[in-house]
Amino acid sequence: MGADDKLSKKDLSAELYESNKTKIEVKKRLATINERLAHVNEPISPPIPNPGTINPTQHQNSSVRVSLPKLEVRKFGENISEWQELWDSFESAIDKNETLADVDKFCYLRGLLVGSARSAIARFGLTSGNYKAATDMLKKNNDM
């Protein structure tokens, strides 16, 4: 019997509780990031200019780029309960990113899949045309 097999129900409940708290926090942070990203290309016109962040010679309708921290999306393989979390994160960060080509999205997706999930789409060559077919297959296999 391994060390993991000796965990009590109380330990497992505590671990599940902590995991759920973390998931909620990650979803809140992603929502905040998405909200900020939605406003990145809008003109910024603060009521009082802050000399530390805005160049006084900039026109008021110039846009400011925000440097965000890297997003870490966990890999997905065998555990069906983790699929929705992976897809929601991937969809938000990559799938709905219109500046990425489908072949690039497919490359990112393949990089996040391991085990049987990666094997499921192995027959699809890394092309733009295969991206939708691969995502459709993964969604269908994971009952989305």
Q: List the pLDDT tens digit at each of the 144 positions of the chain.
A: 455 556 677 777 777 788 778 888 888 888 777 777 776 555 544 444 444 443 434 444 455 666 766 766 667 666 777 788 888 888 888 899 999 899 999 998 898 888 888 888 999 999 999 999 999 988 887 765
In this structure, are residues 53 and 110 in contact, taking their beta carbons and an 8 Å threshold? no
In this structure, are residues 61 and 43 in contact, taking their beta carbons and an 8 Å threshold? yes
In this structure, are residues 79 and 138 in contact, taking their beta carbons and an 8 Å threshold? no
User: Domain residue spans in the chain?
Assistant: 1-67, 70-144
Supply 124's token pair: 């699809």
Query: Residue 103 and residue 106: Cα distance in Å, rounded?
Result: 5
Residue with tokens 């990203």: 37
Query: Residue 94 and residue 61: Cα distance in Å, rounded?
Result: 28
pTM over 0.85: no
| pLDDT for the residue 50 | 41
Supply 119's token pair: 């094997």
| pLDDT for the residue 3 | 52
| pLDDT for the residue 134 | 92
| pLDDT for the residue 39 | 60
